[in-house]
Amino acid sequence: MQNLNEHPFSKKRIEVSSSLHDMLMQAPALAKKEKRQTGFFAIVTILCLTLNLLYFSSRQEKLAEEELLETQYANFGSNLSI
Amino acid sequence: MAERPTFLLTQVFRCDDIQLTVSQEIDIQALQRGDVHAFEVLVIQYEKKVLNMCWYILQNKEEAEDATQDIFLTIYQSIPKFKGDAKLSTWIHRITLNKCLEHIRKAKRKKRFGIHLRIDPAFIDHTVDLNKNPEEALMEKERVKVFLEAVQQLSENQRIAYTLHHMDEFSYKEISESMNLSLSAIESLIFRAKQHLKATLNDSIKNNWI
């Protein structure tokens, strides 16, 4: 008669392979690398945002200037004589 | 001066027929300072338990190994936030369960996109006694497969509570602390898991395993 009494979850445990053990030991180095990468990407993101903002604000100024030149006030004073 | 919180680690080395027992302490403060040696001591103590928890919950060796790596990385990154309110082991078990749930959710998302994650045949082989005659072993493999598929149908919490309960290493109290639920909630989860499995499985399986 087959013995089915032992539950599949209460059987023997698996061992940690040496390659997995080595990888687990490298977690601190991996964490530092991840931290460096996150820092780098944060700086790049901030730089991109700053450049975008600078470009946007200079463009806005230019547009406002151009808009002003197109109005009736653009030639204000040009036909005045002393 | 405040006392340093430490945990004892007992390591057993076999050297011919002599068995040596060396006790090492897990120095939480050193861990929180990012001390690599303290982390190595922690890895030696917990790697097997964490891997087996992942293995029994995820039922897939590759996934379990990936999750274990993820867990120890998270432990190293989050240990400065560990306040010592709970036992270190409970804190590690909580991280393990959360990571396993993350992996299960990822697998479910993949399944939705048509990639089916099967139960690892190595997991079935591992749970079957291969010393039996081939016919019996084959039949038992089939039974284990049906049983594991039924376990996978349980809700996340039921599945985790039921699995940890049957891993023999966890008391109800430890399960409740790890899952951050009350004892009665754990009892109810395990009861409902058993009811669900009884309703799903045939007599030969449920009479022996449920």
Residue that finishes a domain, picked among B116, B143, B165: B116
Segment B119-177, tens digit of pLDDT: 778 888 777 776 778 888 888 888 888 888 888 888 889 999 999 998 877 889 999 99
Among all residues of chain A, which has the CA nearest to that of B170?
A10
Shortest Cα–Cα distance, A16 to chain B (Å): 6
Contact A9 B143 (CB under 8 A): no
Its pTM surpasses 0.90:
no
Residue with tokens 């002599």: B18
Rounded Cα–Cα distance for residues B76 and B31 (Å): 8
Rounded Cα–Cα distance for residues B57 and B137 (Å): 23
Same domain, B102 and B201: no
Same domain, B29 and B77: yes
Smallest Cβ–Cβ distance between B47 and the set A10, A11, A21 belongs to A21
Residue with tokens 């977690």: A27
Give the A:B interface size as CB pairs under 8 Å.
75
Residue that finishes a domain, picked among B82, B99, B116: B116
When divided into structural domains, chain B yields a total of: 2
Among all residues of chain A, which has the CA nearest to that of B207?
A5
Phi, psi (5° rounding) for residue B182?
-75, 160
Same domain, B183 and B197: yes
Domain extent, residue B29, equals 1-116
Same domain, B74 and B159: no
Same domain, B66 and B125: no
Smallest Cβ–Cβ distance between A8 and the set B48, B139, B147 belongs to B147
Structure tokens given for B195: 């009811």
Structure tokens given for B181: 């639920």
CATH number, domain at B173? Answer: 1.10.10.10
Same domain, B90 and B139: no
Same domain, B127 and B109: no
Contact B127 A2 (CB under 8 A): no
Segment B10-67, tens digit of pLDDT: 554 444 333 334 446 788 889 899 899 999 999 999 999 999 999 989 888 888 999 9
Rounded Cα–Cα distance for residues B157 and B179 (Å): 8
